[in-house]
Amino acid sequence: MQHTHRYFPVVLTGIALAAAIGSCAVNPVTGKKELSFVSESQEIEMGRSYSGQIASEMGVYPDSGVQQYVSTIGRRMALASERPKLPWTFHVMDDPQVNAFALPGGYIFVTRGILAHMNSEAELASVVGHEIGHVTARHSVQQMTRTQLAQIGLVAGSIASETFAQYAGVATQGLGVLFLKYGRDDETQADGLGFRYALDDGYDVREMVAMFQILKRVGARAGQRIPEWQSSHPDPGNRIERTQQRLAKLTVPLDGRKVNRAGFLKAIDGMVYGDNPRQGYFNGAAFLHPDLAFRVDFPSGWRTANQPAAVVGVSPNRDAQVMLGVQSPVDPETALRKFLAKEGIQPGQVRRTTIHGNQAATAPFAAQGEGGVLNGRATYVAYAGNTYQLLGVTTAALTTWDAAFQSFTGSFRQLTDAKALGVQPNRLAVARVNREMTLAQFNRQYPSVIPMDELALINGVRDSTAVFPAGESVKRVVAK
């Protein structure tokens, strides 16, 4: 109770301030007035700022042809929407997860992971149209307004949330508010808008049902993580039903409208499929990065993840974690002292050292977090033109885990194994069948390196008995 009472005046002050600066704006989609704390110019600037952050952390897929293809489809629908004057941009991110999302102001992102599970341009239009709908209806802005009404004025998070939580899968301040889950009404509205945008652009919107069916199967597939797009959106089964209801009310014929399976598959032919080992991969507890030519050994038995911003390991009891990130080149001691100077950190003694011949600096520290004190060790290493940050943090006493932290940082070294340095990602390869054949027959003639159920999934068919007519383009996954 004392904790709540201590912040109560601050919350009241924040809400009063918000009410003073908030204003009524007309929603471009509904035409209704709504309270908003974010102007259109602020919305655009916010999207532009976070767009750059996402690009740097997730990585943009390095294929200008794919980028242009998606952008052309998205911009055509966006420019015919209720907000054509926004600075609409569309990006394909170098991420294997099945995901698509939008930032305020017209910044739309789809991953190569979701593209790999699509089978037509019409399916792509339905997903991109949905994300355009979130922007045209200002759903993120509405969420921010509601959040500010409830929370504006609260004391910002300490160093624990700024520096450590971002590497543990917890939304950072700023970006967190942009990725608040939309309500059911917002999602239904975005589905309806995406349906209309795709329909108005000449697409066969029956393909929207096919897209939701694929998403449902991705989520249900044994041993697979629920796709990010599904985790932040309603159940695809319910969306299939609502889409079918929209289809039943249409009075325009859909036969002959754009599907463009062959053109879409041609655009993604050769795309990286699944995790890209060139961006780093685990071999047991060892993390190997071929492009940057280093390896580091994580504590045995810890859960690990190669995330866009950092590589993370978490202890079995979740009371400690280590993380590795890369920074711009700077002297290790300079980088370390800058880290230790952050607000909320109590620094220990800085010690210059070398790690496998590379200049380094290390120091223990304590950080005051929202949930209490975190103890840790920070080490910075200069290697091959970059500076690497290796952090270990724990909710226990530092002595409990410091040996593990120092073993982790001390294992950082040059990667010399020729096989590891030469590893290549799997890629999609599209083959055109010269006769009618089942998926099983296709797989015998054009083998893939993925299981049959996964091959069926990415081709949008139920199982290996599905039949493809002569001349059909079919996806496979090959090792290069």
Q: What would the 3-class secondary structure string for 264-305 be? A: HHHHHCCCEECCCHHHCEEECCEEEECCCCEEEECCCCCEEE
Phi and psi of 69, rounded to 5°?
-60, -50
pLDDT one-digit tens code per residue, 4-44: 222 223 333 333 333 334 456 778 787 677 766 678 899 99
Q: Helix, strand, coil proportions of the chain in percent (round to 5)? A: 40, 25, 35
What pLDDT score does 236 carry? 63
Of the candidates 169, 200, 153, the one whose C-alpha atom is nearest the C-alpha of residue 16 is 153
Q: Report the C-alpha gap between 283 and 270 in whole angstroms.
A: 25
Predicted pLDDT at 184: 76
* 399 alpha carbon, distance to own chain's centre: 35
Low-confidence ranges of the chain (pLDDT < 70): 1-24, 31, 35-37, 144-181, 222-237, 369-371
Cα first-last separation, the chain: 61
Query: What is the 3-class SS of 349-374, one letter each residue?
Result: CCEEEEECCEEEEEEEEEEEECCEEE
Q: Which residue has the tokens 């102007």?
A: 39
pTM for the structure as a whole? 0.82
pLDDT of residue 292: 96
pLDDT at res. 149: 39
The pLDDT of residue 153: 31
